[in-house]
Amino acid sequence: MTQEINGTGNDRGLEAAPAAASANPKGAIVAALLDLAGERNWEDISLSEVAARAQVSLATFREFFPSKGAVLAAFSRQIDKQVLDGIGDNSAHDLAEEPAKERLFDVLMRRLDVLAPYRLGIEGISEWTSRDPLAAAAINRLMLNSMRFMLEAAGIDSEGPVGALKLQGLTMAWRRVLKTWFSDDDPGLAATMATLDRELTRGEKLVGRAEDLSRLTSPLVSIARALVERRRSRGTSRERWDDEREEHRPL
């Protein structure tokens, strides 16, 4: 697919590239940017170069995306969809029989399978974020959104304060998994699987402690909220009483 879009394959690929771009210019732009990210520093890639690689006009690029960052966001959503589509109803039923950690392990390994054709580009983007804190923050937001759906696909709750901890913790763990994956040449991805298993085990322990703490503090939080509401109610009643006294005060 990448070779056809880039026109780097055989003659048949060269003929197919314009047709592919014409049929799906948005997808061609996404693939072109990921290809270029694997070849050059992110900061050196211009919008015109992406459009040229995708074999679309700059006007067509602008019709779909305002920036390279927007292309990355589309790529992230594309990967999410492929992973979720790949799980399907039957696979989701099979996963439901497994422990939470194993369900999430399976979902994330599926994600790596989908990401495999773009590994060089993702590595280039990762290197860019290590040089640019603002870029790292932006990519972190994209990854948080993706990890939310990965947790949901694994049947793991991602709501509330503990859910927020799960999301950020999994996002950080995923970055470490990717770092291993970039240099893992084993077809079976033994090192990557070991890192993922280790990170999920560590995360499971942290979330367990957070859930225990949440259960312990929940009554205290409820009491505090009730006190705040009572004070607000008293304040409102006092203000109303003062207003009524003011209205009936002789001039």
For the stretch 198-230, pLDDT in tens is 999 988 877 655 554 444 444 444 454 555 566
CATH architecture of the domain formed by 70-251: Orthogonal Bundle (1.10)
**pLDDT greater at residue 232 or residue 41:** 41
pLDDT tens digits for 68-78? 999 999 999 99
d(CA 242, CA 78): 60
CB count, 10 Å around CB of 21? 24
Average pLDDT over residues 80-84: 96
CB count, 10 Å around CB of 90? 8
Q: Which two tokens stand for residue 25?
A: 């210019």
Q: Where are the domains of the chain?
A: 1-66, 70-251
- The whole-chain average pLDDT of the chain stands at 81
Handedness of CA 95, 96, 99, 100 (dihedral sign): positive
Residue 97 is predicted with a pLDDT of: 72
Residue 4 is predicted with a pLDDT of: 33
User: Which DSSP string do the residues of 145-181 spell out, in sequence order?
Assistant: HHHHHHHHHTT----HHHHHHHHHHHHHHHHHHHHHH
Residue 204 is predicted with a pLDDT of: 80
Whether pLDDT at 196 is above 70: yes
d(CA 72, CA 125): 10
DSSP 8-state secondary structure symbol assigned to residue 67 = S
DSSP 8-state secondary structure symbol assigned to residue 66 = S
Cβ neighbours of residue 81 closer than 8 Å, sequence gap 6 or more: none
Give this prediction's pTM.
Answer: 0.74
Residue 225 is predicted with a pLDDT of: 53
User: Confidence class of residue 14 from pLDDT cuts 50, 70 and 90?
Assistant: very low
Residue 7 is predicted with a pLDDT of: 38
